[in-house]
Structure 1
Amino acid sequence: MILLTGFEPFDGDAANPSWAAVQAARDILRAEGLAVEAIELPCVFGESARVLRQEVVRLEPSLVICAGLAAGRDRLSLERVAINCDDARIPDNAGNRPVDEEVVAGAPAAYFSTLPVKAALRALQIAGIRAEVSQTAGTYVCNHVFYALMHQLATEAPGSRGGFIHVPREPAGEGQSGAPGGMPVRDMAEGIAVVVRTALATTGDLKLAAGAVY
């Protein structure tokens, strides 16, 4: 079983492309004969992690990929590390705005993704989909979910793998502003499907340069 997650809209947006993308990726992968479920997470500290945890317990997936929106980016970001820190610049959808709080009290400072991020990056490049390995998932609800997922897998389901992908905004429509360099949902979805296929086919990872100078 493969579990994909996206988020509900936040910060005044009418839609969140991460949710549209994982639904489309689910359909692509189901058409290939894979067992895939997709769920929409609330953009709320605490509640998002609780919903995800319940679904992981219920479905017992071997692979979990969560997705969220990074509006300022122009490509898929394969997140490398989740940190045990909530530090919200804006309130979540329930009005919560934690500052310098742990995602999981007393837990490790960070977890690395257990997806083959370098192999997935190479596969995305071959597929012609803009992508990068990202060294930070921020400190908002996306990182909160990413950290909660990796903590749960490490402590309760060590045989399962998981990680997080940030997606950009969609391109602006005619007469609309914003989202220069955005990505169509269909490309995001195919990119997520590429990452799933790569994870299923790859037990290790490639060693190639995809770091950051700053």
Structure 2
Amino acid sequence: MKSVVVYCGSNPGNKPVYKDVAYDLGKKLAAKEILTVYGGGNLGLMGTVADGVLENGGQVTGIIPNFLAKLEVAHKTLTELHFVDTMHERKAKMVSMSDGVIALAGGYGTLDELFEILAWSQLKIFHGPVGVLNTNGFYDHLIAHVDKMTEEGFLRPENRDLMLVADTVDELLEKMETFFLQKAENKPLDHTLYVTKPNA
């Protein structure tokens, strides 16, 4: 993977662990020389990821709608910052620049972006890995609901497996890189690799 979109909250959350993990992700993306693409703000986890990349010699491209530039306060020291007119344009541009997607903790906006890209993956519009970083069990209930969707016949198992889940940055990046390489080489995917149940 040469580039990754990161979806995450414009708030930091109530526990320091979320910011710590966001910074660690940025640091490790920089170390792997993976371009980070994100929403362009300097607040919350968004800003922390960008800082983690930039302070460790990496490159970050931000995409932010004009009307949000003041609300989310556009990050001023990014490698590149693009201003767009709409949220739809923002999301499409972010994905068009990336080989994979990572979702950290966040609110409605993060879930909107995550499920849209999963739907695009299901429809074979997007072909890269989609990773969910389940810090502090944040996504346990969401994962359980996705499993319920599969159990009740609303989601095929092979499409359930498009959502790669891990509890740590290193584990998630390893799963995503394996997925990416298997796709690139047209190898059958080992779906058991990607299924992670919520913490007991």
Q: TM-score, normalised by structure 2?
A: 0.42
Q: Which has the higher helix share?
A: 2
